[in-house]
Amino acid sequence: VHYCIDRTNLVEEVYQKYWEEVVRVEQSNERDLSTTLLICPNFALQNVEMFENFSNTLTQPLETLHVEDLLQLVFFHPEWTFRDGGDRAGPASAANYARRSPWPMINILRTNQVRAAQKGIPTGLVYQQNEKTLNTIGSPELEQMLRNRDWTPLQDVKVNRRDFEALRVAQDLQDGDVKSSDYELSVDSTPAANKGLDKESAKDADMIKVILQALDKRLESGEALSGPETGVTLMAADFLIKELEAALGS
């Protein structure tokens, strides 16, 4: 991880430093440089709206330049507030502290490493788990830690990634230790891997690709699907069927 501190308060100079860091990441071997954290302690510190607007001007060119498959950006600010309209929205929500930091920061990540770290687990499910953990700690405690720059109280906090059924099954699939009751329709018409899995949770999981890969292995190669592969395919198919039914019924 490369840490870059830029103390300017001018938009033009932050732009310049940002693109310098993008070039640094692109020109470096990922074994030598995985990610860059650009820290801007004097830039838009008291103006989160300005920082959000600035962030949008950095994200949009990634799509225009077709480099979103190479790089991803994550933004942090002391007053960051999610504005997606969900339960986590609102300045008092503890979920906001997932993106709050002592100073404005821009995290430049390699897309392939982000996907490898996810290991096929939908991003939405991870967000739900993080939100639950932060709500357990509470906004007042999180705000105090942020202001004091002291996160010692978090040392004993454990994040149970198996708390959500879908996350539990996904981890079992990765470990090759999945129970038949988690993926056989004869046991339950709704596989455990799909319970509580909504559109938001599955937005980063390519369900169609999962099914196509399963069909290719079964029909083209003539190979039988393993238990874990069957579970993932059933989860994807069940989700897509529900989405189609909802679309046809609307």
What's the total number of domains in the chain?
2
24 and 148 co-located in one domain: no
Q: What is the pLDDT of residue 228?
A: 54
The domain in which residue 106 lies consists of 2-117
Of 86, 117, 148, which one is at a domain's C-terminal end? 117
Q: How far apart are the first and last CA of the chain?
A: 47
Of 97, 117, 137, which one is at a domain's C-terminal end? 117
SS3 76: strand
- Say which amino acid occupies 37: L
Q: pLDDT tens digits for the chain (250 residues)?
A: 999 999 999 999 999 999 999 999 989 998 899 999 999 999 999 999 999 999 999 988 887 777 888 899 999 999 998 876 555 556 678 889 999 999 999 999 998 888 777 665 556 666 777 888 888 899 999 999 999 999 898 888 877 655 555 555 555 555 555 454 443 433 333 344 444 444 444 444 566 777 777 787 777 777 776 655 666 677 777 777 877 878 787 5
Of 117, 134, 169, which one is at a domain's C-terminal end? 117
186 and 229 co-located in one domain: yes
- Rounded Cα–Cα distance for residues 245 and 222 (Å): 31
**In terms of Cα–Cα distance, which of 143, 35, 48, 22 is closest to 104?**
48
40 and 100 co-located in one domain: yes
Residue 71 pairs with which residues in a beta bridge?
Answer: 110
C-alpha 59, offset from chain centre: 16
